[in-house]
Amino acid sequence: MSKQKICIIGDGLAGLTAAIILSKENIEIDLYSSENKNKKTKKDNRTTAISESNYKFIKKKLNLGNQNFMWPSKQVNLFFEDKNIIKNFLNFDEKNKNFMYVFQNKDLKKALNKITLKSKSINVIKKNIKNVDYDQGFVIVNQKKIFYELIILCIGSNSSLYSKIEQGKSIKKNYHELAMTTIIEHNSKIENASQFFLKEGPLAILPFKKKMFSVVWSVDSSFFIKNKKKLKKILIKKICTLVNKIGIKKMTDIQSYPIYLNLKTKYFKKNILILGDGLHSIHPMAGQGFNLILRDIKKLSELMTSTLKLGLLIKNSFLLKNFYDARKPENNILGLGINLTNLFFKDNKYFSSTKRVILNNISNFKFIKKISQSISDKGIAQ
């Protein structure tokens, strides 16, 4: 039996990771990469955090080699703002392992691109795919139909290619918030991550190198627009207030992107699957976005292994239905749970006293901490 052929459209972190991991199977992969890839684009300063279990998964499956661009964090300290006072209400820490790893997106993407280009099972094609046939399972390239056993869409969160699959049935919410991100170089000792729930919105400090950390601050769009010309000054003042005795040496330009909740209720149509941010876009406050994507890829890989061992054609199997059944519950529960957590920490004068009591006593309930750590590391479907 000849090798089955699949295609992955999109060469972001999700598309590259999926291509490399699925290439371990006895299949051929066409990876469609953007034609505009080599054009000069704005430098991406975003960072991502992954759990210990996901780190072990990609370390094993991707053969990354030296992972010196991934910064280990043994602790995550949580704070909330109460009457202009910053209070530490909960700390997560691991004694025998790291709690999470932080890296710059561009560094992981660079490493993944190198692996992809060396792979004999992955054929990188620099073409923008704008037409997919959902009934017969083919893409059109240079006016030619190319059929695949499986077509995976990894093309961000807003592509029109999803419309024929989701058919307007997604769980959606516009937070009317923007996530601001920047890189700070400093001369202090900051090795572990922190999350601050401030009256303006949640702010995360994510160290990814010695003397360097990323800041992700989610704020209302109105706050962003009102203070647009002085955001850098406001953010520096805020960091100096939150981090004791910090000496800031350099700060990059602030980048921003809108925040939405978008959970697909339909994952596939026939042999065409959505994967990555297009499947679930969630609030960045908990840092679970890419962790969910990695768990999706892990489950897809496991199901593909089982399907191929049985000698089945991917296109005619129950692979995508089984993937949907396995992954939808966790993706939706975590996405909606993070949404509720964001609402809980919103500045609300009617709820502030109750929230204060809960947060001042939450560290006494060790089972909550244990469950939270377990979910952050391995998800719900463990």
pLDDT in tens, the chain (382 residues): 578 999 999 999 999 999 999 999 989 999 999 876 554 556 788 999 999 999 999 999 998 877 789 999 999 999 999 888 999 999 998 778 899 999 999 999 999 999 999 999 999 999 989 889 999 999 999 889 999 999 999 998 888 889 889 887 899 999 999 999 999 999 999 999 999 999 999 999 999 999 999 999 999 999 999 999 999 999 999 999 999 889 999 999 999 999 999 999 999 999 999 999 999 999 999 899 999 999 999 999 999 999 999 999 999 999 999 999 999 999 999 999 999 999 999 887 778 889 899 999 998 888 888 899 898 898 986 5
Asked if residue 14 belongs to a domain, the reply is yes
Asked if residue 156 belongs to a domain, the reply is yes
Whole-structure pTM value: 0.95
**Three-state secondary-structure class, residue 159:** coil
Cα-flanking dihedrals φ and ψ of residue 370, to 5°?
-65, -45
> How many domains does the chain contain in total?
1
Residue 370: domain span: 4-172+259-378
Q: In 10 A of CB 200, how many CB atoms?
A: 16
Asked if residue 341 belongs to a domain, the reply is yes
**Residue 289, both tokens:** 């976005």
Asked if residue 231 belongs to a domain, the reply is no
- CATH of residue 168: 3.50.50.60
What tens digit of pLDDT does each residue of 301-315 get?
A: 999 999 999 999 999
The CA-based angle 39-277-282, given to 5 degrees, is 125
127 vs 214: CA distance, rounded Å: 33
Enumerate the H helices of 261-311 as residue ranges: 289-309
pLDDT of residue 41: 55
Asked if residue 215 belongs to a domain, the reply is no
Asked if residue 111 belongs to a domain, the reply is yes
Cα-flanking dihedrals φ and ψ of residue 260, to 5°?
-135, 155
Asked if residue 319 belongs to a domain, the reply is yes
202 vs 193: CA distance, rounded Å: 13
Quickly tell me which residue has 């046939």 as its tokens: 133
Distances (CA, A) of 266 to 165, 241, 263, 355, 375: 7, 45, 9, 36, 24
Report yes or no: 35 and 138 within 8 Å, Cβ to Cβ. Answer: no
Quickly tell me which residue has 């300063």 as its tokens: 45
Report yes or no: 54 and 294 within 8 Å, Cβ to Cβ. Answer: yes
| H or E, element range at 234 | helix 231-242
